[in-house]
């Protein structure tokens, strides 16, 4: 349900439109933020089985980099049979030439993301942030693709090099955002948003190749341990940066008073005067934050939070620096 807390603050029509809509042109313009979004230089790699060779970019080429366990899809011609025999597990040789790696961005456009008390819908902020990250990844020679999901289904974008993957992803975000925005006010199906989150995790687990970088942008509504199975598998084999997008009202209640609220068709009042209720409300947000943070801790994965009021460039920087660089 989309709820808008009505205050006395005046907003003109243009600012409201910008706060609730996403256009392809706007997402393309986020490319201008790339210079401000820093990506780490590829991590140095020391391969014990190969005598300590170092490399900042991994792939197939002329210069040997390391030996690692074989992953489905690796060229069988690069299998290191000596290390395989010694370890009892198939290993493959990695070289320097191939710099591009899959970079997947999963964007949540479920009905719960169409919520705002200030600045913009969570869905709008997630779309803008995903565009910044996509352009930064492409500038770093990653093959960009992803997954865009809503209450009505999901759309996968296969990773592609250069601007091709980015533009396909941004186009799907803009299109699905428009469709979701049009239908969200008419949707009141309980449990749909939760099931779509599970569908997205399952799809990512199947589509993300081992070693891919994955950026997940969602409000985590409906997330609990019962949805963790597919996500746990994803975390084991990929680098995942999860970003929880939230509205300040979800973290703490406004100043004690009676507020008029509306979902666009119905109107009610909400009293925030109870100190006990205010404390319980804030504690629930804190508990959910800690639960999610712990789930993404370890194995090179990361978790950050982004309020719709936050500046997006620092958040994009934090996400990109938590993922391994390609070059």
Span 171-185, mean pLDDT? 90
**Mean of the pLDDT values across residues 4-26?**
60
Q: What are the tokens at 232?
A: 């746990």
Neighbours of 276 (CB within 10 A): 7
Strands 143-150 and 213-218, how do they pair? unpaired
Could you list the residue range(s) of the whole structural domain that residue 139 is in? 4-38+100-321
Write the CA distances from 97 to 40, 48, 50, 104, 326, integer angstroms.
Answer: 19, 21, 18, 21, 11
Over residues 127-151, the mean pLDDT reads 94
Residues 104 and 72 in one domain: no
Q: Are residues 173 and 298 in the same domain?
A: yes
| Residue 308 and residue 272 in one domain | yes
| Residue 46 belongs to a domain | no
pLDDT band at 185 (very low <50, low <70, confident <90, very high): low
CA–CA separation, 262 and 21 (whole Å):
19
- Other C-beta atoms within 10 Å of 217: how many? 26
Find which of 24-38, 113-127, 296-310 is predicted with most confidence, using mean pLDDT.
113-127
Q: How many domains does the chain have?
A: 2
Whether 68 and 162 map to the same domain: the answer is no
Q: Is 58 exposed, middle or buried (0-12, 13-18, 19+ CB in 10 A)?
A: buried
On the question of pLDDT at 327 being above 50, the answer is no
Which letter does DSSP use for residue 226 in this model? G
Per-residue model confidence (pLDDT) at position 224? 77
Residue 279 is part of a domain; what is its CATH number?
A: 3.40.50.410
Asked whether residue 80 falls in the same domain as residue 121, the answer is no
Instruction: Examine residue 51 and state whether it is found in any structural domain, yes or no.
Output: no
Residue 44: per-residue pLDDT: 41
> Are residues 76 and 137 located together in one domain of the fold?
no
The whole-chain average pLDDT of the chain stands at 82
């Amino acid at each position: 349900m989309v709820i808008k807390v009505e205050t006395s603050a005046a907003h003109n029509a243009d600012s409201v439109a910008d706060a609730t809509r996403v256009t392809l042109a706007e997402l393309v313009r986020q490319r201008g933020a790339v210079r401000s979004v820093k990506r780490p230089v590829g991590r140095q790699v020391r391969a014990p089985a190969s005598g300590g060779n170092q490399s900042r970019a991994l792939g197939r080429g002329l210069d040997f980099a390391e030996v690692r366990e074989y992953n489905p899809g690796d060229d069988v011609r690069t299998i290191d049979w000596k290390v395989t025999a010694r370890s009892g597990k198939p290993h493959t040789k990695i070289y320097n030439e191939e710099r591009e790696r899959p970079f997947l961005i999963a964007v949540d456009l479920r009905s719960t993301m169409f919520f705002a008390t200030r600045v913009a819908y969570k869905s709008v902020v997630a779309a803008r942030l995903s565009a910044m990250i996509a352009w930064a990844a492409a500038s770093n020679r990653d093959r960009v693709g992803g997954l865009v999901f809503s209450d009505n289904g999901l759309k996968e974008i296969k990773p592609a090099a250069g601007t091709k993957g980015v533009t396909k992803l941004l186009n799907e975000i803009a299109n699905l955002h428009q469709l979701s925005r049009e239908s969200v006010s008419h949707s009141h199906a309980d449990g749909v948003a939760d099931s779509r989150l599970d569908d997205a995790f399952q799809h990512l687990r199947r589509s993300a190749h081992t070693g891919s970088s994955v950026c997940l942008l969602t409000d985590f509504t409906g997330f609990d341990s019962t949805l963790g199975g597919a996500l746990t598998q994803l975390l084991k084999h990929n680098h995942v940066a999860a970003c929880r997008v939230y509205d300040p009202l979800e973290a703490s209640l406004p100043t004690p008073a009676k507020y008029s609220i509306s979902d666009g068709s119905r109107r009610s009042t909400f009293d925030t005067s109870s100190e006990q209720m205010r404390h319980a409300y804030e504690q629930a947000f804190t508990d959910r934050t800690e639960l999610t943070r712990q789930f993404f801790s370890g194995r090179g994965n990361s978790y950050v939070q982004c309020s719709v009021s936050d500046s997006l460039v620092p958040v994009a920087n934090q996400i990109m620096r938590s993922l391994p660089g390609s070059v």
